[in-house]
Structure 1
Amino acid sequence: MATYRFHCTNGLECLLDAEGQRVRPGESIRRRAAQVAEGVRRRFGGDWSDWSVTVHDLEGRQVLLLPFGAEAAGMALAA
């Protein structure tokens, strides 16, 4: 299992994932990022249209950028 950090940002503000989440081999990092975005929207409410989940490995390398709502639109940017 690998550990990734699922941070959320709008370019000015950031919700940091200090602990990270373990992802099993074959499990979708993209699906997990979409779950993080949905959890943030549900917990805090409001307009999150300018926000993205940025996924990093433990070395700090970005592996995925998923705009909030992108799962429904079929979008994601691999790093």
Structure 2
Amino acid sequence: MARYRFHCTNGLECVFDARGADIRAAGRLPLRARRVAVDVMRALSDRTDWSEWQVSVHDLTGRRVMVQPFRQLVGDRPLAA
């Protein structure tokens, strides 16, 4: 099991993941990234344009292991309330 941090940014604003999450298999990183994107979108619900936002996944050494745009993670579906 390894710990990863899931930071979100649009290039100007950032939501940093200081705690991270333990992930058993690297193949589960996209699922966790999707959950993080949805959580950020709900927390910042006053926003309407998520086209530039992405989840940047890092291991504990700071190495980026994955980048996933929000639009690929949540698609064009509206968020449930």
Range class of TM-score, shorter chain: 0.7 to 0.9
Distance 1:10 1:19 in 2: 20
Unaligned stretches of 5+ residues in structure 2: 76-81
Q: For 1:1-79, what aligned pairs fall within 5 Å after superposition?
A: 1-25=1-25, 28-45=28-45, 46-47=47-48, 48-72=50-74
Count of residue correspondences:
73
Identity of aligned residues (%): 49
TM-score, length-normalised on structure 1?
0.82
When the two chains are superposed, the root-mean-square deviation of aligned CA atoms in Å is 1.5
TM-score, length-normalised on structure 2?
0.80
Unaligned stretches of 5+ residues in structure 1: 74-79
Point out which structure has higher relative CO (alpha carbons under 8 A, 6+ apart): 2
Runs of 4+ in 1 over 4 A off after TM superposition: none
